[in-house]
């Protein structure tokens, strides 16, 4: 938890807004990198060998920024069986994956017993892989579908052996933005409540931000402040992971004149390190933006380089599908003067 001292004053909202809007990028990065080096002295930069399969693309939530979802009657709609998904993960584990980040559409035909069947089948077929499934929107959807509480869903997942969860579906945690780009998804308050419930049960989670559409700099700072406030109460967030909106083939993309620049990515990573003083890890990913922007993020406060992503379908459908080998990923880290280290989903080094 953060200790507020005279030597370590917290960034206020107004200071944060001023910095994200006006600070010269080089200065902002230097300051954030200084904080990162205090927090994580040494040259280590972590990454995880993960895979991100999707069990279904049928989704009732129909976010305007998403190119992945399909209606049930669509010719390319699919729902994989637990055995099919476990076989896919088995192949990824064979290729080196240690973690499976599992997410997919909000398919009304899937009941809790089917979601649990995915977990149980994976546990049986690939017992050594760490399952990192279902962000707050999936939890909210399951609770609604089962007419039960989100706590009850979270407790069942805990009882099934799940210990970490992704922080997806945060987008921007203000209701103005959410109502415009994902009106059927859980509200900002609900997303935070589900995270709070998860942390209280004992889950460790990440937190995300998807920017570069209709949000203002003020709303980005409000997003960071909401995360910081919750982290003060629970301490359950392990890392912060931003990425920019990928407009390809999305309804929202047709309305956006300009996509976010790599410079904005670096500003956000820097601001995250400066504002999220109670978050241990900040991620800059080779995957989310251009590879060079991901590398530069390592000089903007990030200490983690994300996942290898052996399989990824959501951004692929929006036309974003870069791939990388472990050797190239490690080389990208070394090229910035750091030492790569493989980690697990608790951010513990495993090599």
- Give residues in contact with ligand SF4 (CB under 6 A): 59, 61-63, 66, 68-69, 105-106, 137
Q: How far is the CB of 141 from ligand SF4 (least distance, A)?
A: 8
- What is the strand order of the sheet 304-307 is part of? 304-307, 44-48, 339-342
Residues in the chain: 351
69 vs 243 by CB, closer to ligand SF4: 69
Of 243, 174, 211, 234, the residue nearest 13 (C-alpha): 174
Between CA 312 and CA 114 the distance in angstroms is: 22
Q: Which residue has the tokens 């507020």?
A: 4
3-state secondary structure (DSSP) of residue 131? strand
Task: Report, in Å, the least distance between residue 142 CB and ligand SF4.
Answer: 12
Nearer CB in complex with ligand SF4: 105/217: 105
Least distance (Å) between residue 296 CB and ligand SF4: 27
Q: Which residue, among 316, 63, 323, has the nearest Cα to 213 in the 3D structure? A: 63
Structure tokens at 226: 């909401």
Complex with ligand SF4: residue 59 or 264, whichever CB lies closer: 59
- C-beta of 61 vs 244, nearer to ligand SF4: 61
Q: How far is the CB of 136 from ligand SF4 (least distance, A)?
A: 11
Question: Smallest gap, in angstroms, from Cβ of residue 6 to ligand SF4?
Answer: 43
- Supply the Cα-derived Rg of the chain in whole angstroms: 19
Cα dist from 249 to 31, 86, 211, 286, whole Å: 38, 29, 17, 22
Nearer Cβ to ligand SF4 (198/341): 198
d(CA 27, CA 235): 29
Task: Give every CB contact of residue 238 below 8 A, 6+ residues apart in sequence.
Answer: 164, 204, 205, 206, 279, 280, 281, 346, 347
User: Whose Cβ is closer to ligand SF4: residue 182's or residue 192's?
Assistant: 182
> Least distance in Å: CB of 51 to ligand SF4?
18
Residue with Cβ nearer ligand SF4 (101 or 299): 101
- Would you state the structure tokens that stand for residue 306, as one six-digit string? 């994300």
Distance, CA of 118 to CA of 101 (rounded, Å): 12
| Cβ distance to ligand SF4 smaller for residue 181 or 282 | 181
Angle at 240 between CA 239 and CA 242, to 5 degrees: 150
Least distance from ligand SF4 to the Cβ atom of residue 125, Å: 25
**φ and ψ of 144, to 5 deg:** -65, -45
**Please, what is the minimum distance in Å from the beta carbon of residue 69 to ligand SF4?**
4
* Phi–psi pair at 243, nearest 5 degrees: -150, 160
Closest CA to 284 of 221, 323, 239, 231: 239
**Nearest distance in Å: CB 70, ligand SF4:** 9
Nearer to ligand SF4, 296 or 315 (CB): 315
């Amino acid at each position: 938890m953060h200790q507020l001292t005279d030597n370590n004053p917290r960034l206020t909202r107004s200071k944060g807004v001023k910095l994200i809007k006006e600070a010269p990028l080089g200065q902002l990065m230097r300051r954030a990198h200084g904080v990162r080096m205090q927090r994580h002295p040494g040259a280590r930069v972590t990454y995880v060998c993960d895979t991100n399969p999707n069990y279904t693309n049928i989704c009732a939530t129909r976010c305007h920024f998403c190119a992945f979802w399909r209606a049930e009657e669509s010719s390319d709609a699919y729902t994989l069986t637990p055995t099919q998904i476990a076989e896919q993960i088995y192949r990824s584990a064979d290729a080196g994956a240690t973690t499976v980040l599992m997410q997919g559409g909000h398919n009304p035909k899937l009941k809790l017993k089917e979601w649990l069947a995915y977990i149980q089948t994976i546990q049986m077929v690939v017992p050594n892989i760490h399952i990192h499934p279902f962000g707050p929107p999936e939890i909210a959807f399951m609770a609604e579908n089962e007419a039960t509480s989100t706590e009850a869903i979270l407790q069942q997942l805990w009882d099934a052996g799940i210990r970490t969860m992704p922080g997806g579906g945060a987008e921007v945690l203000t209701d103005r933005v959410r109502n415009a780009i994902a009106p059927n998804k859980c509200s900002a308050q609900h997303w935070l409540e589900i995270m709070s419930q998860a942390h209280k049960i004992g889950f460790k989670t990440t937190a995300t931000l998807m920017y570069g559409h209709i949000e203002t700099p003020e709303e980005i700072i409000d997003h960071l402040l909401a995360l910081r406030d919750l982290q003060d109460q629970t301490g359950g967030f392990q890392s912060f992971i931003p990425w920019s909106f990928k407009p390809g083939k999305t309804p929202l993309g047709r309305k956006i004149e300009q996509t976010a620049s790599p410079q904005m990515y670096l500003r956000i990573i820097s601001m995250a390190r400066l504002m999220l003083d109670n978050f241990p890890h900040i991620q800059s990913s080779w995957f989310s933006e251009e590879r060079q922007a991901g590398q530069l993020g390592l000089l903007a406060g990030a200490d983690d380089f994300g996942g290898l992503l052996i399989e990824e379908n959501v951004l692929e459908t929006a036309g974003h599908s870069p791939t990388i080998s472990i050797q190239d990923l490690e080389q990208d880290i070394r090229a910035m003067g750091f030492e790569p280290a493989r980690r697990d989903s608790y951010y513990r080094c495993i090599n």
